[in-house]
Structure 1
Amino acid sequence: MYSEPEHDPDVDDDSGERSGRRRAQLPGSGLDSLTGPSPAIRYADAMRHQPGRVFWISILGVGAFTLWGVLSPDGMAAAMTTAMDAVAAKVGWVYLVLTLGCIGLLVYLGFGRFGRVRLGADDDRPEYSTWAWLTMILSAVMGIGLISYGVAEPITHFTTPPHGLADPGTNEAAVRALQFSYFDWGPHAWAVFGVFGLAIAYSTHRRGNTGLISPMLRPLFGKAMDGWLGNVIDILAVIATLFGTTTSLGLGASQISEGLNRVFGIPNELFVQIIIILGITVVFTLSALSGVNRGIKFLSQTTAVLSIFLGLFVLIVGPTGFIGNLFFRSTGEYLNDFFKVSLLTPLVSGDVEWYQYWTYFMMAWWLSWGAFVGVFLAKISKGRTVREFVLGVMGIPSLVFFVWFTIFGGTAIKIDMDGDGGIGAAAAEDVNSAFFETLEHLPWVGLTSVIAILLVVLYFVSGADANTFVLSMLTSRGTLEPSRWVLAVWGALTGTSAMVLFFAGGLAALQQAAMLSALPFAVIVALLGYCIVKTLHEDQTMDAYRTVRRRDLETGGTGTRGEESVDIDDTAVKPAPAAD
């Protein structure tokens, strides 16, 4: 099996060759390298028509799972429910601790000395404008959540406040509803994506590795990542990514079916939802095969414009003053109780079911999407600094989601407070109806409903084809040009798995699959975070960003007095402290 050659850093002290020496230390610039692909990527490209055991084992596992669902849907649903109950009751807290740790890690990397590190060569600059970059992050990563849960989660928490922290239907319940919505869709979610994205971007753009997960763990496990252990990790990434995608397919199909029912009177039933999943699968598979995914920039900006229009429309015609006050009160409550809510776990068995449906499911869903989102973020973030990356991936999207959930969720809450509670009742019966039920209380319901349906479809087209590409890449040794037949296989398997799970247990089965597949991946994320820090500290190209201490000047940065000093860029070094 191919093993990436180790690089022997140059220690020449000629300051005139410093820049070129540091550039030479990088074996390649990773994705779309301007200096040519690294040896690891060249090997993966050469073998792209011969996918290895990661592909075949993943296909075998997914095929067996699908067959189980076809032959015994009730048995599969019962087994998954039992497994999920055990996981939530015994180790569900892992999801909370891990996501909080991801926030801490990104804050440390983004606002410490490594914040100036560029994801690429030192002279690389971003390929996309900041506007285009942010719209791609928002629409292709979690855009579907804006429609699926933008009203459903706040109104559900309003009618049934989490953990009994408020009386249902009160102003305090409204604040708590948005507070917990922020928790599920804010920094905790985006930090998971950020850790994956930063690890993959650094591994590919700075180290010349392929986009696989296993090479990123070499600082901890060494060459074991080139063998079976590395294969197991990549297979886990594939399984988690697949079930994260199927959950999104199920949510999208339910939303589209609900919208079509309200606008055109098409029955909202299982058969229609299965047909929608099938149609969406054909579209995003053909898109991936034909290269339409290159138009993701255009699609993302289109969805951004439509989303801004819809959000401003509801803000203006809705209860504007209530929305503004609710936003600031909920944000204050969120910040005040940040650590309390981040580590709030169930102490009685009755609470576990709520966590399975909301907090644990959300955190596991983000983990299952991590590999796909990480590759996507790495692809579009080449040339940006770590600090820009952290702000653009964790900061700005969190704020956008806070505003969106407050506008739509706050509007629904105000309508129910002043009315008969119809939106909350509709959400309790079917969460997919909440968004469209809210639009029916506002002007231009026909136009806004069509825009909402269009947004759901565009979010799929801009994200699902990229997800198919990532699954193909992960099972083709990390090549950036997977074979067309591999793309077709994963497109078909993604749609088939979604339909089988949907048939076996509906949306609940999709959620359980995502949660179960994400559990072993949680360990990988923790190891990945450790490896990022370890690699940055050991990478000699990072010397320019290190604060020099008096001991370093005395020992030449080697830790031993009298040895030859390592050349350090004077312009990037802070003054050493004065002698005692």
Structure 2
Amino acid sequence: MPTGNDRTSTDIFEPEVEHRPESALDRVVFGVAAALALVVVLWGILDQAALGERASQAQSWVIEYTGWLFVLSTTGFVVFAIWLAASRYGKIPLGQDGERPEFRTTSWIAMMFSAGMGIGLMFWGVAEPLTFYLSPPPDTATAGSDAAVQVAMSQTLFHWTLHPWAVYAVVGLAIGYGTFRLGRPQLISAAFTRVLGRRQTEGPIGKAIDIMAIFATLFGSAASLGLGALQIGAGIEHNGWVESVGETLVVSIIVVLTILFILSAVSGVAKGIQWLSNINMVLALVLAAFVFIAGPTLTMLNLIPTSIADYVAFLPEMAGRTNASGGDDVADWLGAWTIFYWAWWVSWTPFVGMFIARISRGRTIRQFVTGVLLVPSMVSLIWFAIFGGAGISEADAISGGESSVNSNYALFDLLQQYPIPAITTVLVMILVGIFFVSGADAASLVMGTLSQRGSIHPSTWTVVFWGSLTGAVAAIMLLIGDPGDPVALQGLQALTIVAALPFLLVMVLLCVSLYRDLRLDPIILREDLGQTLVEDAVLAGVEQHGEDFALVFEETTPTEDDANELDAAELDATEDARS
């Protein structure tokens, strides 16, 4: 172990990454995760009904017995992330002092948004606000009323703005800080070094954490890809190209898009994901502008400030709603919506959290939290104001006068009410397809990283393997239900949230570990030491000279007896973080 005389204060926090070959495969992590995933795929091929039943039972147990924990923890993550950004820890960079961000801000935002929620916003942009308008949460408003519009928009924003992105931010900060500031491997397990110690994080406990991360990433990302396949299939049927959406069509869509996203993934982040994300951002803006102009523009503009005010007003009630808030109706509604969403976001955290950490090198914690929380939240607000407002205005045409909405077709039914539907529906399918490709692209890279001991550039064959398996899992998840049935989402939902509960507990520990790391960051140590030295100097000056004195800085020659307190403190912190 080095001593204070071995290194200076300027190089103590230089990363000390163990140099492994970039292709070094963790055989235990890769082998166990791959075997478990292949077992599920094989089970789905041989007995879809049994897999669906078991997944549904597990989902029901998680929602019934741990729903309160999801409600409490997700709000806690929002508070924790905002506090970090506003506190003195916000100035700490996710990288070395003076390091510049790797990606431009526009590309950074586009990649983050595309990987995090792109397909979800396309799928639910019209469907969710319209569903809450026609069938509001229990004991909130009368269906189809003006009050129902307020409830629908505020509840939708609750599900899609600060809370989900705070979940992602917690994992992203822990991974980004540990990787780019301390030189740890880019692994979920490495973020627990402060709590468990290096020996444990590199042993069986750490490997178990990384296996769970791969498993959750695989099924969480496959669920979002399944949404994309359902919507593309609905668009094909809506345009009259096929009579109905069946298993063959959905599987064919997944196969084609899987090939495309594997090709994108092997091209690397800068070439593949960044290029696709920038294209998608432009196409999404074109679609939103078209609906904004062709639809009820004034209604959409009015919804923006109204939705913000309603979100703030209803936030305590929405954040505190649990099974204790009402009877079975409330419990059933929470299980189908809020608690399911929280579980779903948590199941995506290994994928989205690691990915936004990967693209955020060089940004400060304050920049990171501001970008991750506020920018996507504002985009979601505008998106739902446009598409939700348009959908509510055309409620009868979309729902056919019923109190329910077919989520697969809602956006296409809306576009049918406006000019050039043949063109706009094709644009939607292209958008969803690119979101599919960019999302699975990022997920494949993350799973490759987890399989290869945190390598930022995983080998091509590993990326191809996980990409292919993601497509297979997405197909199995859809085939559990009838792809042409409105309840086909149940298969997607059931398998994704099963992995969420253990990761919720992992994330709570991540917050503890991250806080303990940040307390010993050199910037914080220098700040504390500087404050102490200045206070001591002022007290000494007052004692010797009263109020008439000045602090003077001059160069001195340190001796071994004048041990540098900053070096010692930083060295102890560094060794503690890595041991």
Segment of structure 1 superposing worse, 528-537 or 283-292: 283-292
SS of 2:394's equivalent in the other structure is helix
TM-score by length of 2: 0.87
- The equivalent position to 2:291 in structure 1, one of 303, 314, 317, is 314
How many angstroms apart in 2 are the aligned matches of 1:521 and 1:540?
A: 30
Q: Aligned equivalents of 2:92 and 2:123: distance in 1?
A: 37
SS in 1 for 2:498: helix
SS of the residue 1:43 aligns to:
coil
Question: 1:80 and 2:55 equivalent?
Answer: yes
Aligned equivalent of 1:69: 44
The separation in 1 between residues aligned to 2:3 and 2:41, in whole angstroms, is 49
Distance 1:11 1:349 in 2: 67
Equivalent of residue 193 in structure 1, options 168, 171, 185: 168
Cα distance in 1 for residues equivalent to 2:403 and 2:119: 17
> Is residue 307 of structure 2 the alignment partner of residue 333 of structure 1?
no
CA contact (8 A) 2:525 2:566 kept: no
Give the AA of the match of 1:281.
T
Secondary structure at the residue paired with 1:366? helix
The aligned runs of 1:125-524 (5 Å cut-off) are 125-222=100-197, 223-266=199-242, 267-291=244-268, 294-347=271-324, 348-416=327-395, 420-423=396-399, 428=404, 430-505=406-481, 506-524=488-506
Q: Distance in 2 between matches of 1:552 and 1:344?
A: 49
Rounded to whole Å, the distance in 2 between the matches of 1:261 and 1:163 is 34
Amino acid at match of 1:279: V
Deviations 1:122-157, CA, capped at 9 Å, x for gaps: 111112222222122112221111211101110000
Unaligned runs of 5+ in 1: 1-5, 13-19, 29-37, 557-561, 569-580
The SS at the match of 1:482 is coil
One-letter code aligned to 2:225: L
Letter in 1 for 2:360: S
Alpha-carbon distance in 2 for matches of 1:146, 1:542: 39
Q: Aligned with 2:299: secondary structure? A: helix
Matched, 1:53 2:53: no
* Partner amino acid, structure 2, of 1:365: W
Query: Alpha carbons of 1:425 and 1:549: their partners in 2 closer, same or farther (altered >3 Å)?
Result: farther
Residue pair 2:265, 2:444 contacting (<8 A) in 1 also = yes
Alpha-carbon separation, structure 1, partners of 2:276 and 2:293:
26
Cα RMSD between the aligned structures? Answer: 2.5
Q: Who is 1:566 aligned against?
A: 565
* Structure 2: distance between partners of 1:453 and 1:401: 20
Distance in 2, Cα, partners of 1:9 & 1:363: 47
- Deviation by residue 1:24-56 (Cα, 9 ceiling, x = unmatched): 12242xxxxxxxxx433x2252xx254320111
- Are the counterparts in 1 of residues 300 and 386 from structure 2 also a CA contact under 8 Å? yes
State the Cα deviation string for residues 376-432 of structure 1 (Å, max 9, x = none): 21222111111111111111110110110111011110122xxx3533768935211
Counterpart residue type for residue 255 of structure 1: Q
Cα distance, 1:411–1:391 mapped onto 2, change above 3 Å: same
Q: Is the contact between residue 119 and residue 385 of structure 1 (CA under 8 Å) also seen in structure 2?
A: yes
The residue type equivalent to 1:288 in the other structure is A
What code does the residue aligned with 1:403 have?
A: I
Structure 1 pair 547–390 and aligned structure 2 pair: CA distance change class (3 A): farther
Amino acid at match of 1:543: L
Partner amino acid for 1:259?
A: G
- Where 2:239 maps in the other structure, the secondary structure is helix
Per the TM alignment, residue 488 of structure 1 is displaced from its structure 2 partner at its CA by 2.3
1:26 to 5, 9, 13: 13
Does structure 2 retain, via aligned residues, the 8 Å contact 1:25–1:541?
no
Aligned equivalents of 2:517, 2:456: Cα separation in 1: 24
**Structure 1 CA distance for aligned equivalents of residues 564 and 10 of structure 2:** 20
Q: Which residue of 2 aligns with 1:559?
A: none
Cα separation, 1, equivalents of 2:96 and 2:372:
21
- Shift in CA distance, 240/149, structure 1 to aligned 2, threshold 3 Å: same
Secondary structure (helix, strand or coil) at the match of 2:404 reads helix
Instruction: For 1:290 and 1:230, locate their aligned partners in 2 and report how far apart those are by CA, in whole Å.
Output: 30
Residue correspondences, number: 535
1:317, CA displacement in angstroms? 2.1
Task: Indicate how the Cα distance of structure 1 residues 469 and 545 shifts in structure 2: closer, same or farther if over 3 A, else same.
Answer: same
Is the 2:84–2:90 contact (alpha carbons within 8 Å) kept by the matching residues of 1? yes
Distance 1:564 1:304, change over 3 A: same
> Following TM superposition, by how much is the alpha carbon of 1:324 offset from its aligned partner in structure 2, in angstroms?
1.8
One-letter identity of the residue aligned with 1:83: A
Change over 3 Å in CA distance of 1:262–1:178 after alignment to 2: same
Q: Whose radius of gyration is greater, 1 or 2?
A: 2
Q: What one-letter code is carried by the residue in structure 2 that aligns with 1:247?
A: A
Q: Which amino acid aligns with 1:512?
A: A
Task: Tell which deviates more after alignment, 540-549 or 164-173.
Answer: 540-549
Q: 1:102 to 1:545 in 2, by over 3 A?
A: farther
CA distance 1:555–1:433, change in 2 (3 Å): farther
Q: Is the Cα–Cα contact under 8 Å of residues 44 and 476 in structure 2 kept in the other structure? A: yes
Is residue 247–residue 514 contact of structure 1 (8 Å, CA) maintained in 2?
yes
**Which residue of the other structure, out of 74, 84, 88, is the alignment partner of 1:99?**
74
Distance (Å, rounded) in 2 between the aligned partners of 1:484 and 1:278: 19
Q: 2:17 aligned with 1:39, yes or no?
A: yes
Q: How many angstroms does 1:102 deviate by?
A: 1.1
Contact 1:151 1:412 in 2 (8 A): yes
Whether the 8 Å CA contact 1:23–1:121 is kept in 2: the answer is: no
Query: Cα deviation per residue 1:234-256 (whole Å; 9 max; x = unaligned)?
Result: 11111111110110111000011
Deviation, structure 1 residue 564: 6.3
CA contact (8 A) 2:216 2:496 kept: yes
Q: Which is worse superposed, 279-288 or 202-211?
A: 279-288
Distance 1:484 1:415 in 2: 47
Structure 1 pair 61/462, CA: closer, same or farther in 2 (3 Å)? same
The residue aligned with 1:543 is 525
Mark the CA change 1:460 to 1:564 in structure 2 (over 3 Å): closer, same or farther. Answer: same
1:67 to partner: Cα distance: 2.1
Instruction: Tell me the percent identity.
Output: 35
Describe the SS at the equivalent of 1:164.
coil
Q: Is the contact made by 1:159 and 1:424 (CA closer than 8 Å) also made in structure 2? A: no
- Give CA-to-partner distance per residue, 1:518-570, whole Å, 9 cap, x none: 111100011101111110002334324449666995599xxxxx9967359xx
Taking structure 1 as reference, are residues 154 and 39 closer, same or farther at Cα in structure 2, changes over 3 Å only?
A: same
Secondary structure of the 1:24 match is coil
Residue type of the alignment partner of 1:374 = G
Q: Determine the C-alpha separation between the residues in 1 that align with 2:401 and 2:39.
A: 39
Q: TM-score, normalised by structure 1?
A: 0.87
Deviations 1:327-360 (A, max 9, x none): 2222111112222211211233333332232112
CA distance 1:79–1:520, change in 2 (3 Å): same
How far apart, CA to CA, are the structure 2 residues paired with 1:295 and 1:65? Answer: 29
Gaps of 5+ in 2: 482-487, 539-560, 568-579
Q: 1:427 to 1:189 in 2, by over 3 A?
A: farther
